[in-house]
């Protein structure tokens, strides 16, 4: 005989504010955005807004956003994985690990205008590092071709929060690598690279791929840092959308909604990959 469990109303009441906040701040704006994307200025249903996205400017913005997001995700993922391995496998002092993880938690949320200002003060034309290199080594990085308001300038800036995010996400997976596996491999005659080739990396691979997808989505939707750092010098989707909302470029609100919907689709796809791979990684580390 099966006993039907009654719903825990107290728990539902406790999470009700969260669902109300999500509905007001996320669901309702998304529904309104989707509705606006399929109507014209007269309020009639149309697909013309999506057809009008097929312009050189919009295509170039999506291409540039994908390149910057991919570059910052791959570089941030690889560098962050290396640092996470050093901290997770090489640092036994719990206090040092706590300091590193605390810094990662702060740095991963340091973005927007403050981050842009920090990099301008550091790597701008009159920044601290730029001036020091020119004074000490006679090297002018801007004469050498570097520009903070460019593809690589924006990518390097994004790495400041991409690397700490990678360390924060990958550390539980690295901690899940049991020492017994390493000892068993050594007993069977496996060398260090054998262990990482056949045990370590296959276990970490789903977590790493999921992290890359999350980093891609994180940088693809960033606007405050990019706009404060480059203005309109770099043609990426968030800045183009911002210009559209302000009415500086296309002067069509529905077209802006279609552009925003395209961003949502790309980010939703990346986040779906992250969630699927995270679920698989959790099964490995149980």
Query: pLDDT-derived band of residue 72, with 50, 70 and 90 as boundaries?
Result: very high
Write down the pTM of the prediction.
0.82
The length of the chain, given as a count of residues: 286
What is the model's pLDDT at position 283?
A: 67
Architecture of domain 44-284: Orthogonal Bundle (1.10)
Each residue's pLDDT tens digit, 17-26: 888 888 888 8
Cα(277)–Cα(243) distance, rounded to whole angstroms? Answer: 35
Cα(108)–Cα(161) distance, rounded to whole angstroms? Answer: 4
Cα(14)–Cα(246) distance, rounded to whole angstroms? Answer: 39
What is the model's pLDDT at position 1?
A: 46
What is the model's pLDDT at position 254?
A: 78
| pLDDT above 60 (res 3) | no
Residues 6 or more apart whose CB falls under 8 angstroms from that of 261 comprise: 33, 34, 37
Give the chain's mean pLDDT: 84
Mean pLDDT throughout 184-199? 83
Mean pLDDT throughout 56-74? 91
Residue 88 three-state SS: helix
* Least confident residue range of 2-6, 79-83, 221-225: 2-6
Question: Virtual CA dihedral for 109, 112, 114, 120, nearest 10 degrees?
Answer: 120
Spell out the domain ranges in the chain.
44-284
* Least confident residue range of 8-12, 22-26, 50-54, 184-188: 8-12
What is the model's pLDDT at position 276?
A: 81
What is the model's pLDDT at position 97?
A: 86
């Amino acid at each position: 005989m099966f006993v039907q469990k009654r719903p825990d109303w107290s728990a539902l009441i406790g999470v009700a504010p969260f669902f109300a906040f999500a509905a007001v701040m996320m669901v309702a704006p998304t529904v309104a955005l989707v509705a606006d994307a399929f109507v014209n200025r007269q309020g009639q249903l149309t697909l013309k807004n999506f057809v009008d996205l097929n312009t050189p400017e919009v295509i170039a913005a999506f291409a540039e956003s994908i390149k910057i997001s991919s570059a910052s995700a791959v570089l941030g993922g690889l560098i962050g994985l290396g640092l996470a391995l050093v901290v997770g496998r090489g640092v036994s002092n719990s206090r040092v690990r706590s300091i590193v993880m605390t810094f990662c938690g702060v740095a991963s949320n340091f973005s927007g205008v403050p981050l842009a200002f920090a990099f301008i003060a550091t790597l701008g034309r009159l920044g601290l590092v730029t001036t020091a290199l020119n004074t000490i080594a006679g090297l002018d990085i801007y004469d050498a071709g570097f520009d903070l308001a460019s593809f690589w300038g924006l990518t390097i800036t994004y790495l400041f929060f991409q690397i700490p995010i990678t360390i924060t996400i990958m550390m539980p997976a690295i901690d899940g690598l049991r020492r017994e596996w390493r000892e068993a491999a050594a007993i069977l005659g496996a060398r260090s690279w054998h262990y990482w080739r056949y045990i370590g990396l296959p276990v970490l691979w789903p977590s790493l791929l999921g992290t890359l997808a999350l980093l891609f989505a994180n940088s693809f939707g960033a606007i405050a840092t990019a706009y404060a750092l480059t203005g309109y010098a770099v043609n990426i989707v968030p800045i183009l959308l911002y210009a559209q909302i302000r009415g500086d470029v296309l002067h069509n609100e529905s077209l802006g909604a279609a552009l925003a919907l395209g961003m949502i689709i790309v980010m939703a796809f990346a986040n779906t990959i992250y969630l699927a791979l995270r679920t698989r990684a959790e099964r490995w580390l149980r």
